[in-house]
Structure 1
């Protein structure tokens, strides 16, 4: 809280424009959440356990059973799988974002923030930025684990970094959904449940773990237009992880996955940031 108290020094806000003050306040709130994260490292550690388990289980349990590109070679499936695991990891951070905001509301911290001379959207923006940093650290660790089990990039470092940037953008977009959920429920437990229950069908009705062309027609269409699938497909192309002979669906998001990923993420941010800030203003009156 001391970091937030320092966010409003005497007369400091007066010397900044509206945008500059909003950016400054958001960064201060982000710093507060990052400090809290450092002081409670088990949150980060436990957040790494699930994706690592998914990597190991899917790689070695299903690796020789699922055909990609007409082959059941385990090494091909491991490379095909990793973009899906990365995307699942960044989107599952939504639950943590919602739970954190719900916890702040439950403890009355949001009321304290509101009493300070700070930009109204800064509390949520700072929280989502801190979650983005945590997600980036998680991706670094997860990429190391993936390399150990056989994942490789084949299109060079710049394209691989672009793939990770798209993944982080998707995670940031989904964190705004988590923020809205956290503001809409009464307890952190409800925010965690509400943040996960819709993510399971979103991630599994996609091309993350199996090729979408194996699905029934209705599910295949949903998977091909799923924003999650677009980012997974874009990451696979940028990592060079599409197996030889892998059929690319004719749907526009699958033919132009990078553009589709950017458009979907931008739309989610615009819509859910507006809804979350609006909810924040009404919920704290």
Structure 2
């Protein structure tokens, strides 16, 4: 049986309040620090569930090996010649496919109630969104690095050297960051992670395969060639090839950056508004 009296309880409460009042309140975290913290949260999720890395390690290797050795002889006459053409395209395709998981991850947090917990914190409201996409950018870099290493091991030799390869990878990552806002909107609109995954790939698959990732547009029928030429993914693949070949196509690079900026400018506010209202 407790021997504490009401007077003792009030005295303890008063002592706690005095201790709290005499301690300097820690400064409120800034916007950048908060966003980076949520980006690190994404890295920790990979640490605890390493199976998430399968889509950025095993899958890109399968793409490079399968397309090079299945279609290389038929398309370019030799696997070595086709590898020089297709590897920048596979780099673009694999990294863009990874952006779909940005929407899946956001939808998972939403359906599990994690987003409600974030809203209760005294932080900058868009920080969880921005941080998650910054964390996903690390996945994009990892996927691109795996593809380049595998390509070099198979015989790919970029004439642009390390600088050209780094420029192409940076361009693809920037474009993917802009595109990931589109899938974030999808993640906030649909009801389940599976729906986001299926809907995302339903959109990205046709655009990727109806591009110059696998074959030159000149080999396609007239109407299809016209579409492929203006497809933003084709432009991005052309820019990446030019950088890795040491002959930068300034127009393609600028268009790719402009499309990435336009996607972010249009879909970032939509994502933020949906995030606040859900």
8 A Cα contact 1:95 1:193, kept in partner: no
Separation in 2, partners of 1:166, 1:115: 36
- State the aligned residue count: 254
Larger Rg: 2
**1:95-110 alignment runs, 5 A limit:** 95-110=100-115
Structure-2 separation of matches of 1:118 and 1:25: 7
Aligned residue in 2 for 1:44: 53
The normalised TM-score by structure 2 is 0.86
Q: Distance in 2 between matches of 1:10 and 1:137?
A: 40
Paired residues for 1:77-116 under 5 Å: 77-116=82-121
Q: 5+ unaligned residues in a row in structure 1: which ranges? A: 1-8, 243-253
Q: Is this contact kept in 1: 2:164–2:246, CA < 8 A?
A: no
Q: Which has the higher helix share?
A: 2
Cα deviations by residue, 1:56-97 (Å, 9 ceiling, x for unpaired): 111001000014xxxx23212111001111001111112211
> Does residue 54 of structure 1 match 2:63?
yes
Q: CA offsets per residue over residues 2-60 of structure 1, 9 Å max, x none?
A: xxxxxxx95522xx7xxxx3222111111111111111111102432222111111100
In structure 2, how many angstroms separate the alpha carbons of the residues matched to 1:212 and 1:279?
Answer: 38
Report the 3-state secondary structure (helix = DSSP H, G, I; strand = E; otherwise coil) of the residue aligned with 1:119.
Answer: coil
Matched with 1:282 is 277
Q: Pairwise mapping of residues 129-148 of structure 1 onto structure 2 (< 5 A)?
A: 129-148=134-153
Tell me if the contact between 1:170 and 1:265 (Cα under 8 Å) persists in the aligned partners.
Answer: yes
Contact kept in structure 2, 1:79 and 1:241, CA below 8 Å? no
Q: What residue number does 1:160 align with?
A: 165
Q: Which runs of 4+ in 1 moved over 3 A?
A: none
Preserved contact between residue 90 and residue 170 of structure 1 (Cα < 8 Å): no
Question: Displacement, 1:156?
Answer: 2.4
Whether the 8 Å CA contact 1:97–1:131 is kept in 2: the answer is: yes
Alpha-carbon shift at residue 104 of structure 1 (Å)? 0.3
Change (3 A) 1:186 1:262: same
How far is 1:159 from its partner? 2.1
Structure 2 residue aligned with 1:6? none
CA RMSD of aligned residues (A): 1.8
Change (3 A) 1:270 1:208: same
List runs of 5+ in structure 2 lacking aligned partners. 1-23
| TM-score normalized with structure 1 length | 0.84
Out of 73, 81, 85, the residue aligned to residue 64 of structure 1 is 73
Shift of 1:143: 1.3
